């Protein structure tokens, strides 16, 4: 098979990009030194995280002159996400860090006055009737970024670039650019399903370069950001030692009855692939087994990620056990090192649960000060805040009036068993088994300050009930922070997904048991939402 060189400068999940390249029929050769760049015919620069961190890593390792020489020589070059941003002169994310300057202009940040930032999810890449590496108006592509280059009609085109644009909350930004031998995408093609694989293939085969900028006709572009549907798989070992997907009823994963076995709803890798092919926009694995006696390098979840990322080309999140720990041989291992292992195995995001609650308690205890030592801070600094999800497990505590507690209360439409009309949401740890004296508003505001990029908002009261999401909880959290919120717990039918997107500002909605028990498929939920007028992404079949 022909070879493409991939420049891995610790840019997060490059395994999925390598898998996508191999899916397109090419072999990946990893660049380990600037000298390797000179031997590359086709070069891909991936990127996640902080603009300044990316540029300093490339500069410190001596890659920048080699990359520039590759481009100047007319050899095919592709840049992804922060890789695209690196082609500009600079970014307000780190004004002191110069970019490559291949494109005139500097990036700015999305406004967060009326929308969540980062921009996370599936959006369009509108080429305005020009051919650009098989980008299609009816397709959606996966974006995850806080900084962007604002599109001004004709500006980049006058520099010779063909441009695709996206729109988020009224702001039009550059989604992809191409010129001569260079292609750059703000979205992640390796995480954009078949639509993204087509872009990669058009680059690898040179087909995209040959038709670049030609006038094309086709369907009108679809709308903007979609309503994201996420499939969640709770993974643990059963009593026979097999790794299975299970589902709790208010966090109890054992069957009712005399045997009390762990509910076995299927195998993780096979289920993840099934949900991907049904159109799931993301797949989340929550590891609810500790694997205490297993060396970290042999964690079963690492193998699940590796195998899943070979066939599932949408974002993968992994949660469970991402904390400072000690390996079986006595070696101390940081949360950042464990996260790095997951990223290298195919994860795009890590989810932190109980440790986030404890870190938030410490944050308030010292007067809302940050010292850079929490798992959230360390991982977000290295990989960007979009790589860190905080999973929250709150439950209702009813009170007769607002001054009965110091916590953030709401007046609820669903009074408690004693008729109390107010409640606050207490955060829990250890899988809901231990309640802490910190409320959900305090928690999400603390982790946002630490650098979390997204909240996975569960609800113990709703878990396994099939009665719909806790809309009051979701709106309470959305009104308290600026980062995206994923609604979780309680989905029992497609109407519940419509309800959460219609009546709250949730950025995404997650389903588990509804899909595992095959009551509804992901496709059925999406078809229902589309009928109700919501923008959704559909699975596009095989490459």
Q: Tokens for 243?
A: 């790794």
CB count in 10 Å sphere of residue 238? 16
Q: Could you give the CA distance from residue 80 to residue 99 in angstroms, rounded to a whole number?
A: 14
301-307 contacts: CB < 8 A, separation 24 or more? 301/235, 301/342, 302/341, 302/342, 302/345, 303/345, 304/235, 304/243, 304/268, 304/269, 305/342, 305/345, 305/346, 305/347, 306/15, 306/345, 306/346, 307/269
- List the catalytic residue out of 134, 190, 281, 377: 190
Asked if residue 66 lies in contact with residue 95, where contact means CB atoms within 8 angstroms, the answer is no
- List the catalytic residue out of 377, 393, 442, 461: 393
Catalytic residue check, 81: yes
CB count in 10 Å sphere of residue 459? 24
> Which value, in Å, is the radius of gyration of the alpha carbons in the chain?
23
Catalytic residue check, 423: no
- List the catalytic residue out of 54, 81, 232, 427: 81
Catalytic residue check, 516: no
CA angle 375, 379, 384 (to 5 degrees): 140
CA angle 315, 102, 151 (to 5 degrees): 65
Residue 41: which of 8, 70, 80 has the closest Cα? 70
Catalytic residue check, 403: no
Task: Please compute, for residue 136, the number of CA atoms within 13 A of its CA located in the half-sphere on the CB side.
Answer: 16
Catalytic residue check, 190: yes
Query: Which stretches of 256-345 are assigned E, i.e. beta strand?
Result: 282-287, 316-319, 325-326, 332-333
Q: Could you give the CA distance from residue 130 to residue 147 in angstroms, rounded to a whole number?
A: 25
DSSP letter, residue 403: G
- Phi and psi at 153, nearest 5°, equal -55, 125
- Phi and psi at 42, nearest 5°, equal -115, 130
- List the catalytic residue out of 234, 310, 377, 498: 234
Enumerate the active-site residues: 81, 188, 190, 234, 393
């Amino acid at each position: 098979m022909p070879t493409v060189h991939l420049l891995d400068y610790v840019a997060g999940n490059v395994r999925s990009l390598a898998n996508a390249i191999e899916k397109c029929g090419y072999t990946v050769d990893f660049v380990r030194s600037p000298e390797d760049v000179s031997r590359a015919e086709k070069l891909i620069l991936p990127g996640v995280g902080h603009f300044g961190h990316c540029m300093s890593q490339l500069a410190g390792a001596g890659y920048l002159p080699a990359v520039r020489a590759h481009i100047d020589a007319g050899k095919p070059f592709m840049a992804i996400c922060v890789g695209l941003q690196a082609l500009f002169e600079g970014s307000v994310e780190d004004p002191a860090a110069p970019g490559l300057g291949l494109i005139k202009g500097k990036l700015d940040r999305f406004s967060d006055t009326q929308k969540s930032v980062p921009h996370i999810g599936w959006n369009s890449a509108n080429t305005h009737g020009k051919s650009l590496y098989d980008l299609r108006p009816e397709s959606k592509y996966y974006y995850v970024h806080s900084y962007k280059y604002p599109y001004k009609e004709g500006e980049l085109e006058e520099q010779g670039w063909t441009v695709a644009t996206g729109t988020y909350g009224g702001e039009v930004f550059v989604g992809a650019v191409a010129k001569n031998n260079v292609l750059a995408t703000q979205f992640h093609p390796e995480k954009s399903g078949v639509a993204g694989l087509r872009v990669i293939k058009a680059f690898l085969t040179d087909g995209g370069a040959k038709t670049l900028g030609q006038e094309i006709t086709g369907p009108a572009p679809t709308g903007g950001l979609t309503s994201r549907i996420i499939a969640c798989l709770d993974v643990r070992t059963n009593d026979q030692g097999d790794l299975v997907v299970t589902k709790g009823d208010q966090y109890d994963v054992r069957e009712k009855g005399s045997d009390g076995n762990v509910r076995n709803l299927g195998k993780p890798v096979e289920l993840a692939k099934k949900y991907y092919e049904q159109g799931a926009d993301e797949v989340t694995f929550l590891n609810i087994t500790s694997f205490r006696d297993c060396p970290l390098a042999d964690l079963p979840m690492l193998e699940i990620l590796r195998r899943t990322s070979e066939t599932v080309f949408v974002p993968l999140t992994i949660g469970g056990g991402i904390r400072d720990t000690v390996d079986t041989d006595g070696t101390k291992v940081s949360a950042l090192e464990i996260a790095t292992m997951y990223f290298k195995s195919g994860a795009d995001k890590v989810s932190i649960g109980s440790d986030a609650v404890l870190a938030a308690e410490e944050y308030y205890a010292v007067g809302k000060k940050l010292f850079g030592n929490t798992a959230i801070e360390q991982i977000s600094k290295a990989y960007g805040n979009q790589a860190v999800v905080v999973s929250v497990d709150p439950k209702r505590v009813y009170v007769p009036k607002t001054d009965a507690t110091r916590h953030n209360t709401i007046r609820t439409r669903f009074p408690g068993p004693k008729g109390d009309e107010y409640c606050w949401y207490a955060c829990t740890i250890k899988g809901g088994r231990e309640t802490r004296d910190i409320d959900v508003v305090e928690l999400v505001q603390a982790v946002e300050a630490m650098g979390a990029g997204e909240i996975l908002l569960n609800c113990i009261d709703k878990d396994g009930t099939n009665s719909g999401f806790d809309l009051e909880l979701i709106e309470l959290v959305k009104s308290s922070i600026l980062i995206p919120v994923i609604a979780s717990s309680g989905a029992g039918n497609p109407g519940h997904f419509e309800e959460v997107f219609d009546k709250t500002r949730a950025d995404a909605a997650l389903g588990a048991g509804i899909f595992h028990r095959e009551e509804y498929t992901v496709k059925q939920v999406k078809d229902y939402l589309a009928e109700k007028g919501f923008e959704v992404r559909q699975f596009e079949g095989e490459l």
